[in-house]
Amino acid sequence: MEQGIEYFAATCIVVLALLIIYQQMQNKPDPDTAERWHKDPNNWKLGIFYFNRQDTRIFPPKKYKSLGWTVNFGNPVSIAGFVVLVTALVYFL
């Protein structure tokens, strides 16, 4: 029974990752708009959490781009993906 749950969880993670990748490729803003959003301090809550409802990207760059990507907490799909990812990590640890 437990092995079935693990396969189901792994399948959900893979499907979610593929959906995220597809959505990221389809909804890229033009570079000028993305840069304007990134530099706007109103889009950064507490200086570290990116929150922009206009931005459809799920994982935009972090405030310091060299550090990778962050979750767009203004996008419900981002929040769902984040919750699934954290839940899967907690379950497997």
Interval 48-88: pLDDT, tens = 999 999 988 888 899 998 999 888 999 888 888 788 778 87
pLDDT class of 24 with cuts at 50, 70, 90: low
pLDDT of residue 49: 93
Average pLDDT over the chain reads 84
Domain boundaries, the chain: 2-92
Judged by phi (left if over 0) then psi (alpha if -120 to 50, else beta), residue 72 lies in beta
pTM exceeding 0.75: no
At residue 46, the pLDDT reads: 93
